[in-house]
Amino acid sequence: ISICRDLPNIEVITFSVNGISDLEPLTRCHNLSELYLRSNNIRSLDELFHLKALPRLRVLWLAENPCCGQDPHRYRMTVLRALPGLQRLDNQAVTEEELSQALVDGVEITAPPARRDVENGWAKSLESSAAGSTAEPGSHLLSCSLEEANKIQEELGMKPVPRDKYSSFSLLETDCDQRKRDNVLNAILLLLKELDAEGLEIIQQTVARRLQAFQKKELQEE
């Protein structure tokens, strides 16, 4: 998510099921209109303080995070009090009545969290998600991630990723390098949408040279 500090013009961000716990990197995304953060590790609604400076934010999906707590009404009212410009919250339309009620029932957020528990956030998020599911461990997480990745691929005119090929980027993969590669892949796909034709041609040429270098290296090793 730290890459968002360098994307001030990005309009839509999908980071669902990613173990995210800190929203501070989003403070510079002033053109952001849609933000999808379902099933992460956001522990405190005080993290919404970082979104209060985003004037164009209209859609937020925050469900299935620890910060949602056990009281759905209090949670929704607090979010709407902090972000009264929202039109949809957790895939449900926001009404004028709710915005008025939020001033009464919602908790005011005046500062970011004093303490952020970022370490081990990935593992804790996976444990809590797996504990609440009766399906095969990890199957729901994998299907969600694959669906979101293929949505980006489709928007870019690329072929969808086959499930057997995507397994190497599994969200249940415990190896740090694998998770890093997964995050880099998603970041690159998002950045491609920001490029014009000239930029995409440069990327295409760079990728071609990289592939040739890898193929040459493999031949030498053989």
Return per-residue pLDDT of the chain as tens, 222 residues. 888 888 889 999 999 998 899 999 999 999 999 999 999 999 999 999 999 999 999 999 999 999 999 999 999 999 999 999 999 999 999 999 999 999 999 999 999 887 544 333 333 333 443 344 433 333 333 444 556 556 655 655 555 655 554 444 444 444 555 666 666 777 777 777 667 777 777 777 778 777 787 777 777 776
In a domain, 149, yes or no: no
Domain final residue pick, 72, 105, 138? 105
- C-beta separation of 47 from 23 below 8 A: yes
Laid out side by side, the sheet with 88-89 consists of 12-14, 34-36, 59-61, 88-89, 92-93
Structure tokens at 129: 């998600």
In a domain, 157, yes or no: no
In a domain, 210, yes or no: yes
Q: What is the pLDDT of residue 59?
A: 96
Q: Is residue 182 located within the same domain as residue 100?
A: no
Q: Is residue 14 located within the same domain as residue 101?
A: yes
In a domain, 20, yes or no: yes
Domain final residue pick, 79, 105, 131? 105
Q: What is the pLDDT of residue 183?
A: 67
Q: Is residue 185 located within the same domain as residue 100?
A: no
Domain final residue pick, 105, 129, 151? 105
- C-beta separation of 146 from 161 below 8 A: yes
What domain range is 188 assigned to? 177-219
Q: Which residues, at least 6 apart from 116, have a Cβ–Cβ distance to it below 8 Å?
A: 21, 22
Q: What is the pLDDT of residue 137?
A: 38
CATH number for the domain including 77?
3.80.10.10
Number of domains into which the chain is organized: 2
What is the DSSP-derived secondary structure letter of residue 15?
Answer: -
In a domain, 213, yes or no: yes
